[in-house]
Amino acid sequence: MRVVPWVLATSLLAAGTLQAAPRATAIPDKAVAAATQLREHALASNLGYEITASLTTEVGPRLAGSEADARAVKWAEAKFKALGYDKVWLEEVRFPKWERRSEHASVVGTNAQPLALIALGGSPAGTVEAEVVRFADLAALEAAPAGSLVGKIAFIDHRMERARDGAGYGMGSKVRSRGPSAAIRAGAAAYLMRSAGTDSHRNPHTGITRFDAGLTPVPSAALATPDADQLTRLLALGPVRVRMALDCGWNGEAVSHNVVGEIRGKSKPQEVVLIGGHLDSWDPGTGAIDDGAGVGLTMAAGALIGQMRQRPARTIRVVAFANEEQGLYGGKAYAATHVNDIRKHQLAAESDFGAGRIYAFRSGAPEYAQGAVKQIAEVLAPLGIAHTPGEGGPGPDISPFAERGMAWASLRQDGTDYFDYHHTPDDTLDKIDPRALAQNVAAYAVFAYLAASADGDFGSDLKAVKPPQE
C-alpha cells in the first residue's frame, strides 16, 4: 500500500456532476434482497481466508519481477480457474527490476553492536562507515545546509503515529520517499530512517524510495524501531559511527502481469464492476496483509457471486494487479490498456489496507448516483459499516484510472494495527483474523453485486486530465 494523492481525483469527479443530469441511478429491490442473502452467505464462508492462505503459503514473498512473482501470476491464473471464473487472462506489465541481496549494519567502536535494518526499495548498493547525524523530522533534514553532511550518515528519527485510518503514514511515507534526496542535497553519504511503522519489534519496514532527478543515489535504509531508539540513546552519549552495507539495486527490466478473472454478467456482460488487490508483495514477509488479503477477499467475493443462482446484470471483474509496491505499475498499465473502455467500468473498488474490518463506505460517484450508493450502504450497514460521504478515496491501483474518470468507491478498513506489520518480515498469515476477513468478503460481494445490478451508472467518463503526479 502506498499513498497517492486523492484530492485531484475527488475534485475531478465532483466536477463531473456539472456536465449532465442523467436519470437517477437505482438498484432493483430484487437485487437488494439477493445481496442481503449473499452477505450472510459470505459472512459464514471461509473462502477469502483460504485463498489468502493458499497464496501466502504456496508462493510466499513475491517481490515484483522475482521468480516468485512469476509463480504468483501462475497461481492467480490457476486459482481464478479453480474458483469457476468464466474468463481468465493476463495483461503484461513491464517495469525496472529491483533486487535485494543482503543488508547489514552495526555500531562500531566502544559500543559496538549490530543494528536491525532493511534497505529501502530503489536503494543502490554500497558500504558506508560514518558518523551519524540525527534529525527529529523530515523538515529538519530538509533545512540542513548543502554540504553540511559531507561524510556523514543522515538519520531521521520521525516516530509514526498509530491511527485507524493510517493517517500517520502520510508523513511516514514522506520520510521514506523524500528523506534520501534531502540527505543527498546536504551532502550525506548514506541515509537512515526510523521505520515507518507503529510497532516496537526488531522487524524493520521497507518500502519504495526515490531519488530526485540529478542527484546521485546513496545507500538508504530503515532501522527497526527498537534500533532507532537504541541509536538515539547512543547519540545522547556522544558521537556514534555506524557501518552499513547494502547489497541491492536495479537490474534491468522485468515483465509481470495483471491477472484478471471475470464472472460474466447476465444482461450487460460488456460492462464491469471492478474489484481487486495487488499480487506483488515486499520480500521480507509473505505479503498476507499487503496485499494477499486484498487479492483473496476480492477473488472470494467474485467467486461467491459466481455461485449465485441470480447473476447480476453486469460482469464482476477481479484484478490481481502487478507491482503496486514500486510505483503502481499494474494500475497504470491497466488504465492505459482500458482507457477507451472507461465508460464500461460501472464502478471500482480496491482492497489494499490489510485485513481489518471495514468500518466505512463511500463513493465518489456524482449526485445522480448517490441514491444507489445509499442503497448499497444500507445493505452494508449490518456489517458495522457506516456511510461516510466525504471521507476516503479509491485504492492505489485503481487510482490512475480513477484520475482519468472511472467511478470509484471506498470500503475503508480498520488499519489500527496495519503499520505494525506493513512491509516487514512480520506480514504473515497469522496476523489475519479469519472472521474479519469474512466481513470484508461480505462487504465486497454486496458492493459488487449491487453496483453490477443497478439501473443507471455511477458516472465513469473520460476526463482530459494531466497525468497523475507522484
Using CB under 8 A, list all residues that contact its own copies: 53, 57-61, 67-68, 71, 107, 110-114, 116, 200-203, 225-226, 229-230, 233-234, 237, 284-286, 424-426, 428-431
Min separation Cβ 259 and its own copies, Å = 19
Q: Is 271 helix (H, G, I), strand (E, B) or coil?
A: strand
Burial tier of 250 (Cβ tally within 10 Å: 0-12, 13-18, 19+) = middle
Min separation Cβ 61 and its own copies, Å = 6
Q: Which is nearer to its own copies, 246 or 380 (CB)?
A: 246
- 323 vs 329: CA distance, rounded Å: 5
- State how beta strands 268-278 and 345-350 pair: parallel
Q: Which is nearer to its own copies, 53 or 339 (CB)?
A: 53
Min separation Cβ 202 and its own copies, Å = 4
- 123 vs 109: CA distance, rounded Å: 26
Min separation Cβ 107 and its own copies, Å = 8
Q: Which is nearer to its own copies, 221 or 376 (CB)?
A: 221
Min separation Cβ 64 and its own copies, Å = 16
Min separation Cβ 111 and its own copies, Å = 5
Q: Which is nearer to its own copies, 283 or 291 (CB)?
A: 283
Min separation Cβ 203 and its own copies, Å = 6
| Residue whose C-alpha is closest to residue 73's, from 94, 51, 89, 95 | 89
Cβ proximity of 52 and 268 under 8 Å? no
Q: Which is nearer to its own copies, 94 or 201 (CB)?
A: 201
First and final CA of the chain: distance in angstroms? 14
- 259 vs 242: CA distance, rounded Å: 43
Q: Which is nearer to its own copies, 285 or 459 (CB)?
A: 285
Q: Which is nearer to its own copies, 62 or 257 (CB)?
A: 62
**Quick one: CA dihedral 62, 68, 74, 75, positive or negative?**
negative
Cell of 80: 481464478
Cell of 11: 475534485
Q: Is 33 helix (H, G, I), strand (E, B) or coil?
A: helix
